[in-house]
Amino acid sequence: MLGSARVVDLTHTLTPEFPLFPAYDPVRVADKFTVEADGFAVRSWAFDEHSGTHVDAPAHFGGELTVDRIDPAELVLPAVVLDVRDRLRGDDDGVVLPDDVRRWEREHGSLPERCVVLALTGWGARAPDPVAYLNQDEHGTLHSPGFSEELAQWLVAERPGVRGLGLDTASLDRGATTAFEAHTAWLPTGRYGIENLNNLEQVPPAGAWIAVGAPKLQAGTGGPARILALVP
């Protein structure tokens, strides 16, 4: 499968301009050494763990596992893509529900025994425009789709082989939440999340694999990651 697979990069390039969840500090980058002055080049980066396309470790919301302790076997798994673009179109506060998984299963069969579930909301196309991507109203409240608490709880109880959730917005939760229900229902169970995915429309609903390049940061709650899909 690997020899014939098409590789799709699901990662946004990390830049100082990439839109961040408002709680985080801006990404800072500078030339520390240059070829012209020093004979070699090194850049200095400073960023919060949850910047750009990144992994949320269970420890991000009180779980035991930090990002360096996620089992590597859970980072390379079949990818299930839920295309919810039509259902959520026009609903900036919409959420992914158990019925979206049931609909996928009616068409493609049962979820793989172990897998990562990804939601294609279409929001990733907004990433070049930070204002549109974060979609803050006049009160500073974000409006963007996310996973529902109901879905997270249902997957843990009914589809425990799902080890990760990911989507093409800035948060696992809908933007307007203040309680972070999906994070709280999902991460403390020992599962991980992926936020700010790119190019999900290039991955089929079934049959692809995902490789999650989670950084091995000591005691990290997450970190920027290179996420690849292998499409047969």
Task: Confirm whether 33 is domain-assigned.
Answer: no
Report how far residue 204's alpha carbon sits from residue 208's, in angstroms, rounded to the nearest whole number.
7
Task: Confirm whether 30 is domain-assigned.
Answer: no
Number of domains in the chain: 1
* Packing angle, helices 98-108 and 149-158, rounded to 10: 50
Task: Confirm whether 34 is domain-assigned.
Answer: no
Q: What does the DSSP 8-state code read for residue 142?
A: B
Q: Kindly report the CATH number assigned to the domain that includes residue 145.
A: 3.50.30.50
Indicate the helix (H) or strand (E) that contains 226: strand 226-231
Task: Confirm whether 37 is domain-assigned.
Answer: no
Task: Confirm whether 28 is domain-assigned.
Answer: no
Task: Confirm whether 39 is domain-assigned.
Answer: no
Task: Confirm whether 175 is domain-assigned.
Answer: yes
What local confidence, expressed as pLDDT, does residue 1 receive? Answer: 57
List of the chain residues with pLDDT < 50: none
Report how far residue 181's alpha carbon sits from residue 185's, in angstroms, rounded to the nearest whole number.
6
Across 4-23, b (16+ Cβ under 10 Å) vs e yields eeeebebbbebeeebbbeee
Report how far residue 179's alpha carbon sits from residue 152's, in angstroms, rounded to the nearest whole number.
14
Total residues found in the chain within this entry:
232
- Domain boundaries, position 162: 6-20+49-231
Task: Confirm whether 38 is domain-assigned.
Answer: no
What local confidence, expressed as pLDDT, does residue 4 receive? Answer: 87
